[in-house]
Structure 1
């Protein structure tokens, strides 16, 4: 298997990259600064910009699936990149994509007609990041791709507990945090198992 990975130098992306390589999976990673990635014989590092179609296309060459752990950085990088990724995937006949989103785009329990970031559940003052992730969710749901969006809540850097709890389209009751380690492991497991195609998946780590 060969994976095209975006966001490989981020907190979750680094953990995903390590898991892929540890499990003998070939990876092509597009990064802004190649010096931030350690060389590996199963890793091809491309330096470029995820907002550029040509860089997306060369990252996806010969890939079997795509994982995006890109963050928002209070910019439109997510929506710009996902639009190019969707087009390139269709062009290259790649069907599977897993992205790391946010719990804000899960369905609200108290106001089911709204997403969490739109409802009284949200404690975030800024909605910029959630709106970007919402646009990505909309674009993927309107595509013909086999997509899964992993939606952690408060995301501290942390170890793999392997005791995480998940729920489709909603945040598990009582969720207060999701470690970067658990987020990465679930994304990797979903890549292998394909259990939640077409769903946002809320995930929480134990306290």
Structure 2
């Protein structure tokens, strides 16, 4: 498949790019710093910002599916996921691309509950959680065949394939999952319709 990947130099994004190439997909990745991206004959790099509609359009040209691993480490004024999706969704419509897989966060939208773990997330990283929640609203209101992925605490562990997923899966403080396993699950959904129009939690 021909994949457009956003957030390709982040922890999950790097795994998405490498595993997609390992699976013989052709990848186009939008990155701000091309020096942080690998070199591969099936990888096309577009330099730019996800908020730039022209760069997003260029990234999506000729693609069969979109994978988003957008995110930001700062704790205040975070809008990259919302802003990015505002550019990505119209570009998908323009190019006739319907399949979308996006990393969000556990504890937003219908996964927000009053447990200690989720309450703590909203206290510590409220701006990030709001950004993810607004992104989900945009995705769910779109005409795409979307799947939202809500991971547990992310780690740098190896790809195991031994993770659990589910729309009602409960995550707590001890729940973890590797960046590599999140990428593995996302790529597995490219040829699977089991979770279309679902938000799925994932943990080891």
**TM-score, with structure 1 as normaliser:** 0.89
The yes-or-no answer on 1:95 pairing with 2:61 is no
**Partner residue, 1:112:** none
Q: Secondary structure at the match of 2:46?
A: strand
Q: What's the C-alpha RMSD, in Å, of the aligned pairs?
A: 1.6
- Please say if residues 103 and 171 of structure 1, whose CA atoms lie closer than 8 Å, have aligned partners that are also in contact: no
The yes-or-no answer on 1:81 pairing with 2:84 is yes
Q: Deviations over 1:119-161 (max 9, x none)?
A: 3442222311111110011111111110011110111111112
Hey, what's the Cα distance between the residues in 1 that align with 2:82 and 2:55? 15
In structure 2, list runs of 5 or more residues that go unmatched: none
- Please say if residues 2 and 62 of structure 1, whose CA atoms lie closer than 8 Å, have aligned partners that are also in contact: yes
**Partner residue, 1:72:** 72
Once the two structures are superposed, the pairs formed by residues 2-17 of structure 1 within 5 Å of their partners are: 2-17=2-17
Q: Secondary structure at the match of 1:178?
A: strand
**Partner residue, 1:185:** 184
Hey, what's the Cα distance between the residues in 2 that align with 1:16 and 1:48? 19
- Please say if residues 147 and 195 of structure 2, whose CA atoms lie closer than 8 Å, have aligned partners that are also in contact: yes
Quote how far apart the aligned CAs of 1:175 are: 5.7
**Partner residue, 2:57:** 57
Q: Deviations over 1:37-70 (max 9, x none)?
A: 1210100011101011111100000101100111
Q: Secondary structure at the match of 1:183?
A: helix
Hey, what's the Cα distance between the residues in 2 that align with 1:72 and 1:141? 21
Hey, what's the Cα distance between the residues in 1 that align with 2:109 and 2:184? 20
Quote how far apart the aligned CAs of 1:77 are: 1.2
Hey, what's the Cα distance between the residues in 1 that align with 2:169 and 2:108? 9
Hey, what's the Cα distance between the residues in 1 that align with 2:172 and 2:70? 26
Once the two structures are superposed, the pairs formed by residues 57-206 of structure 1 within 5 Å of their partners are: 57-74=57-74, 75-105=78-108, 107-108=110-111, 115-116=112-113, 119-121=114-116, 122=118, 123-124=120-121, 125-171=124-170, 176-205=175-204
- Please say if residues 30 and 59 of structure 1, whose CA atoms lie closer than 8 Å, have aligned partners that are also in contact: yes
Q: How many residues align?
A: 197
In structure 1, list runs of 5 or more residues that go unmatched: 109-114
**Partner residue, 1:111:** none
**Partner residue, 1:22:** 22
